[in-house]
Structure 1
């Protein structure tokens, strides 16, 4: 395996543990909130936003200092935690996780500003900050047990956010979410322990949960590796979620408060797709290749199923929830195409989906605050009463459809390109999902914003200054990435290329084209990279 894939170096000249601070600041903020009076709602929100912004600002600094020429882990922070069991505080970031950390640093402050909890604001903001700390930690953890701890931590805040501040059938939705994801996590813990035990005599350090050491270790037979991969894959499939273990998602999204839906869509679902990339391909390249046709099929089924069911929804928020099932299918087929284009598209689309779907949930929340309904049939003509809201919704909707010039197009195009190069028939079927996305989103837009407004719809107020400022960074990023994706892709490509080389080196007689039905000629990769964008 090329050592650069898992090289634990590159401090980037930063003189303090940057990643530790990014993770710790939100947790510290939650502790500060616990000491403040419950009645000071404005102060509680200000403190929560400040700590989230501080963590987000550090993630932006990390992005600025990131070395685009290095394909290994950067900003590494490593300290022994429970030395007798080989557990360490091991954090690092590469091109695959970089923008997920930055996305978290952007979306959490926005979600906090957009939030308006009606009760117990102190607990609400504290849970949001703990959720931010857990999400950040999961994206940068390079110790398997540490990753598992962060992976589990995020369940508790989201459970309470849905169950205490959600709508309608919130307790049922929160419980269903918790049980589904907890079951998957339990299976992953079994897999982690099995992997550590089987490799303990081959790591050079005895028992260790170190991703770097475990990726280099030998001693796990092919059959055992496949079974362990299944335990990881089930946990990640539930988190994505993939069809048919997706049924918790529409209920959770529908009943969650706006801030909860934003973070669930933008950040938490990415823990599943990120898990496949970071742990599936790194630790089990042979098993990933062997199971790739299955996950390509599940991804395509999710695209078509999510799109078809979305067209049947009459609740605007539930429609957006099912659209997430479809859009995450594109990420999955990009990952399991097992080539550079697909993986780049998958990583980029994780970020793009977080921006566009997060923005859609915020806009749906704005509409609900004004009309106290999400039923599409009870809305209509909002373009005349709220033209700015309609204009912003149009941009975000077109991004979600994948219109050229907006961010959604770039990620979907690369994912489909990877699918056509790696699994042509799956790619062809997945393309139908692009058409269906246009159908259900344009249908919903026409019903909500076109026509003559009547009753309360005619008196609907437009976006306020606060709401407009919330949407500015999201719309700006949607347009920027769509017009000029090269700065993002330039930071993703080295790590993706190293990961593809890692898979190639670890699969006996394996070539990426092995699962291709009719591969395109070799030698086109560089040209395609050049076409995707200019120089930085």
Structure 2
């Protein structure tokens, strides 16, 4: 594939934006068709990327570099290049973005107002997510990162439920602060290494022969600041409250994008920057990161047990499951890192499927309160069956992706910090309890008379169910589909940690 392939993939959603600009806003059917079709182009390109990816290569692939911006600075000039590339870490997340993007676009068919604005913002966010995972320098990473925050603010605020404006403001406040911290770190890194290229920064900070002598105190400060910035995105307790409000009030299609992909940027940043730029500090702070992961797991699980709203159960479940990513990273070995990346992809698929199924239940019953539901398996057997299967995947049933990711993450951590891993493993038990309580309370038991004649899954609703569930099972049964591309890249990352 030519070296401009990633540029085409990243900006392909904008073709849909261009077409939508010329469609009258009253043509709802045409707008929705274009919105979905526009996500199929990057999906096809992402599949081509996976098929043609060289799994044995350690370095970056499909690298594109060209002059972009020249800023005069005294007698010299600051040259900002346009740089894109993928490796075994970013490629699976690009594919995940494409899959979730198409499935969420289908879920958005239930949008009942301002369809044109919704799909335009939706496609801009998809472009931003692709850009974050393919960017090779800090400037591009930050620019694409911002392209995900601002449109998401409007999508929460316009197409959410009753308290949507407050949810949108909370999202913007937390993520805006994280973005500001990240920008300050990026500027500091440039001032001390005179480059914005991620690989050149890594070499400048980790190579003993580097001419740049960055003070250890500054290194720790930058590491900690980046940790906070990405902890807000994951989110790590106590920065998680924006997620709870946003997931409670947001439209399901928007939540699918957020839970499926956007919060994974936090985990990606911790690996791509914290672990790569500051391996010694990553090693020294590993116990602290592991404790944060255990807090996330147990706090999210315990609070999920107390919720009556299915959306809040899943929101707390996301907090809990993202704690497993932190445990994998804290292991500081290949098994743990692989488990963290597996968890990001697995949780992205499972969370998107769970929120999608809950949205269908809400659309039929006009409620997501467990106490008001029950017995839905009688009137909606397919929907209830898929919801139950998704729950089992989230619990970590063998044969599904959730099992592989949890197994690898805990395997890595038991090898280095067994006591913390043992405490974190309690979260797996609690996960089974709160998810069984929520799903069985929704689908089994006596059914109310008003729910006896509900329609089961419609044709267009089945597509996301089949696609997402198939991928969850594929990764669970044949984990090499994800692990093989990771192996060579992890050989570049893990051996440097703790060195």
TM-score, normalised with respect to structure 2: 0.96
In 2: Cα distance, 1:292 partner to 1:185 partner: 24
What is the CA-CA distance between 1:143 and the residue it aligns to?
Answer: 0.5
**8 Å contact 1:222–1:286 — kept in the other structure?**
no
In 2: Cα distance, 1:231 partner to 1:215 partner: 17
Which of 49, 59, 84 is residue 72 of structure 1 equivalent to? 59
Once the two structures are superposed, the pairs formed by residues 296-315 of structure 1 within 5 Å of their partners are 296-315=290-309
Which of 40, 55, 60 is residue 27 of structure 2 equivalent to? 40
**Alignment pair present for 1:137 and 2:117:** no
* RMSD, aligned CA: 1.1
Q: In the TM superposition, what whole-angstrom CA distance separates every residue of 1:259-282 from its partner, at most 9, and x where no partner exists?
A: 001011000000001000111111
Which of 328, 333, 336 is residue 339 of structure 1 equivalent to? 333
In 1: Cα distance, 2:31 partner to 2:496 partner: 47
Which of 277, 295, 298 is residue 289 of structure 2 equivalent to? 295
Which of 42, 45, 51 is residue 55 of structure 1 equivalent to? 42
**Alignment pair present for 1:317 and 2:304:** no
Which of 1, 5, 8 is residue 21 of structure 1 equivalent to? 8
Change (3 A) 1:104 1:308: same
The equivalent residue for 2:463 is 469
Structure 2: tracts of 5 or more residues without a match: 71-76, 205-211
The equivalent residue for 2:80 is 87
Which of 165, 168, 193 is residue 199 of structure 1 equivalent to? 193
**8 Å contact 2:343–2:406 — kept in the other structure?**
yes
The equivalent residue for 1:103 is 96
What is the CA-CA distance between 1:89 and the residue it aligns to?
Answer: 1.3
What is the CA-CA distance between 1:16 and the residue it aligns to?
Answer: 4.8
Residue 12 of structure 2 aligns to a residue in which SS?
Answer: helix
Q: In the TM superposition, what whole-angstrom CA distance separates every residue of 1:150-192 from its partner, at most 9, and x where no partner exists?
A: 1121001111111000001100000001010110110111111
Residue 66 of structure 2 aligns to a residue in which SS?
Answer: strand
Once the two structures are superposed, the pairs formed by residues 454-493 of structure 1 within 5 Å of their partners are 454-493=448-487
In 2: Cα distance, 1:230 partner to 1:499 partner: 19
The equivalent residue for 1:114 is 107
The equivalent residue for 1:215 is 202
**In the comparison of the two structures, how many residue pairs are matched?**
485
What is the CA-CA distance between 1:86 and the residue it aligns to?
Answer: 3.2
Which of 190, 212, 221 is residue 227 of structure 1 equivalent to? 221
What is the CA-CA distance between 1:497 and the residue it aligns to?
Answer: 2.1
Q: In the TM superposition, what whole-angstrom CA distance separates every residue of 1:87-135 from its partner, at most 9, and x where no partner exists?
A: 2211111111111100011111111111121111000000100000001
Structure 1: tracts of 5 or more residues without a match: 1-13, 201-207, 508-536
The equivalent residue for 2:252 is 258
Which of 354, 358, 369 is residue 364 of structure 1 equivalent to? 358
In 2: Cα distance, 1:222 partner to 1:289 partner: 14
In 2: Cα distance, 1:502 partner to 1:482 partner: 29
The equivalent residue for 1:494 is 488
In 2: Cα distance, 1:166 partner to 1:371 partner: 17
**8 Å contact 2:3–2:62 — kept in the other structure?**
no
Once the two structures are superposed, the pairs formed by residues 158-177 of structure 1 within 5 Å of their partners are 158-177=152-171
